[in-house]
Amino acid sequence: MTAVATIIRDALEILRVVDANEAPEAEDAETAIRALNTMMRTWEVDGLSLGWSDVSSPADILPAPPEAEEPITYHLAIRLRPRYGAALEPDVVQIATAGMSMLRAQMALNSYARLSYPDLPAGSGQGRATYRDGLNG
């Protein structure tokens, strides 16, 4: 369980705005929280449903699965970059893109895993055979 403050600090470290031993200023944390909530709501609307609920404090626990932490961090850095005028390194974009692809693939796998036969439509005039009924169901 990761605190929002850790995600914010890591994103600002990626941009070289803060170093590992430095806490972000309160104004920077507030800006990052706004950007984080906006970004995650956009992801939800775009079909990447991670169960996000808005955060309001750096002390809040990140409401996302652990495998989403790195993609969230790197995408947050990309979102915050214009504010700080930081150069965007190619590896940052590459890691963000790969993380997003991984999350989308996991979402697709989870969607297929939840699919069960009762969810499939039956054609008209066809009965639903069960193993108890035999193949002639």
φ/ψ of 3, rounded to 5, equals -75, 150
Query: What gap in Å lies between CA 36 and CA 25, rounded to an integer?
Result: 16
* Residue 82 in domain: yes
The predicted structure's pLDDT at residue 135: 47
Q: 36 is in which domain, residue-wise?
A: 4-92
* Residue 19 in domain: yes
Sign of CA dihedral 88, 36, 63, 119: negative
Specify whether the CB–CB gap between 82 and 26 falls below 8 A: no
For residue 121, is pLDDT > 70? Answer: no
Q: What share of the chain has pLDDT > 90, as a percent?
A: 69
Angle at 122 (CA atoms; ends 107, 118), nearest 5 degrees: 45
Q: Is 129 left (phi over 0), alpha (psi -120 to 50) or beta?
A: beta
* Residue 104 in domain: no
* Residue 70 in domain: yes
Average pLDDT over residues 113-135: 52
C-alpha distances (whole Å) from 26 to each of 11, 23, 29, 75, 108 are 15, 9, 5, 21, 38
* Residue 102 in domain: no
* Residue 133 in domain: no
Q: Using one digit for the tens of pLDDT, what is the confidence trace for 55-92?
A: 999 999 999 999 999 999 999 999 999 999 998 899 99
Domain total of the chain: 1
Residue with the bigger pLDDT between 118 and 20: it is 20
* Residue 112 in domain: no
* Residue 121 in domain: no
